[in-house]
Amino acid sequence: MKAGAVLQFAATALALLLSACGGGGGGGDDSANIRAPLPQLVSDTYPTGDRLDLRSRNYFPAASGDSWTYTVSDNGTPTGQTATRTVISATPDTFTISETLPGAPTEIESYRRTSAGISQLDLASDLPAAVRTLIGEVMLFPEPFYPVGSTFRSIRQGSWGEDADGDGIIDSFRFELTQQLVGFETVVLPLGSPEAARFRTVITVTASPSSLQSAPATITASEESWWAPGIGLVRVDRSVTDEQGVTTTQSLAIASGSVGGTPLFAGQPDGTLVKLSLTHNALVFDASRNRYYASIPSSVGVTDNSIATIDAATGAVSYSAAVGSEPFAMAVAPDGSALYVGLKGSGDVVKLALPAMSEQYRVRLPTAPVFGTQLQPKSIAVSPVESDVIAVSTFDPARSNTNSGVVQIRAGALQPQMVGGLFSSTRAGPLTYDGNGTTVYGFDDETSGFSLYAMSVLGDGLLLTNERSVTLGYGMRTIDWTTQGIVGSLAIYRASDFTLLGSVSHSHCRAHSVANRMVCIAGSGRLALVDMGNFATVATPAFSVDASPPTPNQLVPGAVGQVAMRFGSSYINTPATDLWLFTSPLLQ
């Protein structure tokens, strides 16, 4: 509210008016030409009725650094200019706001916040001291609010403290403020349409010269202002009628700002994020305990070569003892009994009992058949019906990490029947079992063949039974078996014959923890929840509203409503550096 500016305007108008009239001659006995001074009056009239305690909505935020920018219209016409209001200082009880309007000097006004409401401390520092003293603090926004439609009135009347008209006699003034809570209205903002509190405030200032040669000068200013919870002033319509009866109007409409360090109208993520700086090779989810496991490489230092356990609800991280050299691929038994960890450093696969992570056994993978290179684990899948049966795809580090066959380990024993290898065109990377544990599916993620494979589970290993070229592309880290089909990257294929059932425009899709849904990366800081039946995008929750949001390298679905996102990884050669846990109702 610009009460101080109105008083300044009145003082200036009075001085100009008296100057034009020539003054009063000063000091002579001219009582017939003297106007009686206005008697001193200090009056506050408070409405009756129950007050509305809405302070928890924070209609008037004012922390140091809060700022608001408004578009400006003068006399109903947009000017193309902007106005700003900024909290330049604040204590628990007081705050100071600067307001800069186009073509006008910056105004500085200080306020006090008390149990009675918000009052303005010093209306105008260069007014006569008598005026400032008599007016004192002016209550601008009583809190709790008075009842809707009722009127609060404050009157200050008395000596101007100076002889403005030059007749040797002190002049006087009258200040009157009325305010009404009009009601609560929906306002359309750059983002959102909150319910704002609308106030009508009218200030009338009359300067009464002692000389009858000069008529009293009255200025009336009115404001219709709208205040949104947690945002502050979002719109104000001001009008001023000067002593000549000329009215000017100005409107401010909020365009941007920042409150409490958070930009206004910049959009917010559609959920909550827990961001972790965690260097890790691979990540899996343990549904039975609502936690993730991450394999930590040797480059980390103190916690190197261990398994990190991440609480999905809080993001709290703990570490196991060292499990071996360069833990990489992992898989959790569906019954939650064990975690299988592949070690790139030694070529072993270790079984860890959960939750203690005590070692049950370790199995060395085979060597390459010609050059004798120790093969290393790339992907691990666990049978859904036999928690002690796993399939492991391998790669040969001596041949640029070329995929080099799939083996099955049963009860800690490497089975002889292997699929693929050095001289085979079968080069599966990511693996998954079907729902009854009779088939292992794999995908060639490194050659242009891009083949899907079906491998039957035998008593002594695996047997290739089907192969088909598909269009999933390079660098795909996972495939998922679902009752709808095989989910890979951006498509679903029928498990029986690998017929394409449908695809989406998104990428890195995974079978979600919600039935008949897959979750994908949609780009521009968004994920996509997709219906597996009709491939329609059900929701696109934003995990980031930054101008240039990062893109995850991999998604790992967690519990219903949560997805883990890995950043900075180039799969085998480079570990991920960051892990974000995104929880959103749009993922349910």
3-state secondary structure 93-125: CEEEEEEECCCCCCEEEEEEEECCEEEECCCCC
Same domain, 115 and 187: yes
Which of these, 418, 465, 420, lies nearest to 439 by C-alpha position?
465
400, 448 Cβ separation under 8 angstroms: no
Q: How far apart are CA 540 and CA 520, in angstroms?
A: 9
β-sheet bridge partners, residue 526: 523, 542
| Residue 240 shares a structural domain with residue 342 | no
Rounded-to-integer distance, Cα 135 and Cα 55, Å: 26
Residue 466: per-residue pLDDT: 95
Q: Is residue 137 part of a domain?
A: yes
Residue 341 lies in a domain: yes
Summarize pLDDT for 533-571 with one digit per residue, the tens.
999 999 999 999 887 899 999 999 999 999 999 999 987
Residue 250 and residue 329 in one domain: no
**What's the rounded Cα separation, in Å, for the pair 283 and 576?**
10
Please check whether residues 259 and 336 belong to one and the same domain. Answer: no
Domain span holding position 472? 323-488
Residue 585 lies in a domain: no
| Tens digits of pLDDT across the chain (588 residues) | 354 455 555 555 545 544 444 444 444 455 678 999 999 999 999 999 999 999 999 999 999 999 999 999 999 999 999 999 999 999 999 999 999 988 888 888 899 999 999 998 876 566 788 888 898 888 889 999 999 999 999 999 999 898 887 888 999 999 999 999 999 999 999 888 999 999 999 999 888 999 888 888 888 999 999 999 999 999 999 999 988 889 999 999 999 999 999 889 877 899 999 999 999 999 999 999 999 999 999 999 889 999 999 999 999 999 999 999 999 999 999 999 999 999 999 999 999 999 999 999 999 999 987 778 899 999 999 999 999 999 999 998 887 768 789 999 999 999 999 998 755 667 889 999 999 999 999 999 887 778 999 999 999 999 999 999 987 766 688 999 999 999 998 999 999 999 999 999 999 999 999 999 999 999 889 999 999 999 999 999 999 988 789 999 999 999 999 999 999 998 788 999 999 999 999 999
User: Taking a C-beta distance cutoff of 8 angstroms, is the pair 145, 197 a contact?
Assistant: yes
Instruction: Give the CATH number for residue 444.
Output: 2.130.10.10
Q: Which of 467, 488, 509 is the last residue of a domain?
A: 488
- Beta-carbon contacts of 302 under 8 Å, excluding residues fewer than 6 positions away, are none
Report whether 60 contacts 140 (CB < 8 A).
no
User: For residues 496 and 468, what is the distance between their CA atoms, to the nearest angstrom?
Assistant: 11
Distance of CA 160 to the CA centre of its chain: 53
Same domain, 338 and 228: no
Give the integer Cα–Cα distance in Å for 237 and 240. Answer: 10
Q: Angle at the Cα of 190 (from 180 to 149), degrees rounded to 5? A: 10
Which class for 321: exposed (0-12), middle (13-18), buried (19 or more C-beta within 10 A)? exposed
Stretch (H or E) spanning 531: strand 526-531
Tokens of 156: 């200050």
What is the pTM (predicted TM-score) of this model? 0.66
Strands 291-295 and 348-353, by their bridges, are unpaired
| Cα 54 from Cα 148, distance rounded (Å) | 13
**511 within some domain:** no
Tokens of 190: 């750059």
What single DSSP character describes residue 587?
G
Whether residues 73 and 218 fall in one domain:
yes
Q: What is the pLDDT of residues 138-150, one digit of tens each?
A: 888 999 999 999 9
Q: Is 255 helix (H, G, I), strand (E, B) or coil?
A: strand
For the chain, how many helices (H) and strands (E)? Answer: 2, 42
> 548 in a domain, yes or no?
no
Same domain, yes or no, for 178 and 61?
yes
Pair 53, 136 in one domain: yes
Judge contact between 464 and 455, C-beta under 8 A.
yes
264 backbone dihedrals φ, ψ, rounded to 5°: -85, 145
User: Which CATH number goes with the domain that contains 195?
Assistant: 2.40.360
Distances (CA, A) of 303 to 15, 131, 322: 78, 71, 8
Determine the Cα angle at 274 with ends 512 and 62, to 5°.
130
Q: Residue 367 domain-assigned?
A: yes
Nearest to 175 by CA among 13, 44, 19: 44
Residue indicated by tokens 């409409």? 253
- Report if residue 567 sits inside a domain: no
Do 330 and 238 have their domain in common? no
DSSP state of 296: P
Residue 569 belongs to some domain of the structure: no
d(CA 281, CA 382): 19
Task: Please check whether residues 95 and 225 belong to one and the same domain.
Answer: yes
- CA separation for the pair 430, 327 (Å, rounded): 17
Domain limit, last residue, from 488, 504, 523? 488
Domain boundary among 223, 247, 263: 263
**Could you give the number of structural domains in the chain?**
2
The verdict on 242 and 359 lying in the same domain is: no
Q: What angle do CA 522, 474, 399 make, to 5 degrees?
A: 150
Q: Do 385 and 255 share a domain, yes or no? A: no
Question: Cβ distance 138 to 3 under 8 Å?
Answer: yes
